[in-house]
Amino acid sequence: MEFFRIKKDIPVMRYALMFNIISLVTFVLAVFFLVVRGLNFSLEFTGGTLVEVHYTESAPLNEIRAALEEAGYRDAPVQNFGSSQDVLIRLPLNLHDAAATTDPASADAAPDSARQSELLLAVLRNTAVTPPELRRVEFVGPQVGRDLAENGALALLFVVVGIMIYLAFRFEWRFSVSTIIANLHDVTIILGFFAFFQWEFSLSVLAAVLAVLGYSVNESVVVFDRVRETFRKTRGMTTAQILDHAITSTMSRTVITHGSTQAVVLSMLIFGGETLHNFALALTIGICFGIYSSVLVASPIVMWLGISREQFIKPVKARDPGVTADGACV
């Protein structure tokens, strides 16, 4: 299925150096912000208490934030959860300590979920005429948060290693190297955005990053499959011309696939609410840069690594002069 067919190949490789310089600058900036600012890890990674409360009318978020700050819970994330009447409050471990110093009654108490929920409800009763109803309390210890962070890093590492093994069997090594560089480029850019804007990095965002890895690989495999096919069928074309032809011939498929996926992701981003916002945001950035990297990062790298037609054509074995065409000895 094709929406359109481009008859003349687009000379993408003519601007390969310029696009790769842009990619390198973007990559360096992303690494810089990751080192300097770091990721704003969510409660799942840092540990703390998650409290969900329900109001009979629309929750006054600004009043809740002000009341929590006055009680010692400074900068505690407060957001609607599903509807304007449901509120999700996250209390990281450092906020537990701050509240303990503010409230003498809780100075000697451990930051367990039961006591924290009681203290929090006492604060929230002053923000509405009808007291809120406690729906859920979850406490994540610091050790659990550390384990989740380590397991998330291992999951990311295993995905990258698995992709490398798959590409090593599927393609020539130059294709594998360029695809891995493009994938790591996408992941680093996503993390750089979250570090620069200090968006919350949660387990759902980690899942989005892993999804982007697979998604970006899929696009690179489609382009490189066409490159390999063109090398085998066509003579007299340079490597740059073959890459241009492969990118142009898969353009319609790219528009259909990524356009439909991006439409769904944007729907989640706009209408999904706070719960799905960062997940959809990571996917949106990843899909955009996944297209960019597959075409303008992976393809130029594979060209500069010296890919050529000879690597895909098996050499013809010289026939023994003493053997006829049907295999009989002379």
Residue 319 is classified by DSSP as P
Percentage of the chain with pLDDT > 90? Answer: 12
Buried b (16+ CB within 10 A) or exposed e, 121-139: bebbeebbeeebeeeebeb
Query: Which pLDDT tens digit goes with each residue over 252-298?
Result: 888 888 888 899 999 999 988 777 889 999 999 998 888 888 888 88
Range in 80-94, 221-235, 277-291, 314-328 the model is least confident about: 314-328
Cβ-based neighbours of 69, under 8 Å, separated by 6 or more? 75, 76
pLDDT of residue 31: 95
Cβ-based neighbours of 153, under 8 Å, separated by 6 or more? none
Higher pLDDT, 73 or 261: 261
The yes-or-no verdict on residue 47 having pLDDT over 80 is no
Query: Which pLDDT tens digit goes with each residue over 108-155?
Result: 434 456 677 778 888 888 777 677 888 888 777 766 667 777 887 787
Q: In which band, very low, low, confident or very high, does the pLDDT at 37 lie, cut at 50, 70 and 90?
A: very high
Mean pLDDT on 32-44: 89
Percentage of the chain with pLDDT > 70? Answer: 85
What's 48-140's CATH class?
A: alpha beta
pLDDT of residue 105: 43
Mean pLDDT on 61-88: 82
Give the Å distances, CA to CA, from 322 to 315, 316, 326, 328.
21, 17, 12, 9
β-strand pairing of 200-201 with 40-41: parallel
pLDDT of residue 119: 80
Higher pLDDT, 109 or 215: 215
pLDDT of residue 29: 95
Cβ-based neighbours of 149, under 8 Å, separated by 6 or more? 41, 45
The yes-or-no verdict on residue 24 having pLDDT over 60 is yes
pLDDT of residue 103: 47
pLDDT of residue 177: 85
Between CA 293 and CA 191 the distance in angstroms is: 16
Mean pLDDT on 317-323: 55
pLDDT of residue 104: 43
pTM listed for this prediction: 0.77
Mean pLDDT on 48-67: 86
**CB of 151 closer than 8 Å to CB of 158:** no
Residue 119 C-alpha from the chain's centroid: 37
Mean pLDDT on 61-65: 87
Structure tokens at 268: 């989640």
In the chain, what are the domain boundaries? 12-40+144-309, 48-140
Mean pLDDT on 5-26: 86
Higher pLDDT, 282 or 103: 282
Q: C-alpha angle with apex 92: 86 to 95, nearest 5 degrees?
A: 105
Q: In which band, very low, low, confident or very high, does the pLDDT at 193 lie, cut at 50, 70 and 90?
A: very high
Out of 2.60.120.40, 3.40.50.300, 1.20.1640.10, 3.30.465.10, select the CATH number for domain 12-40+144-309. 1.20.1640.10
Mean pLDDT (the chain) is 80
Between CA 35 and CA 28 the distance in angstroms is: 11
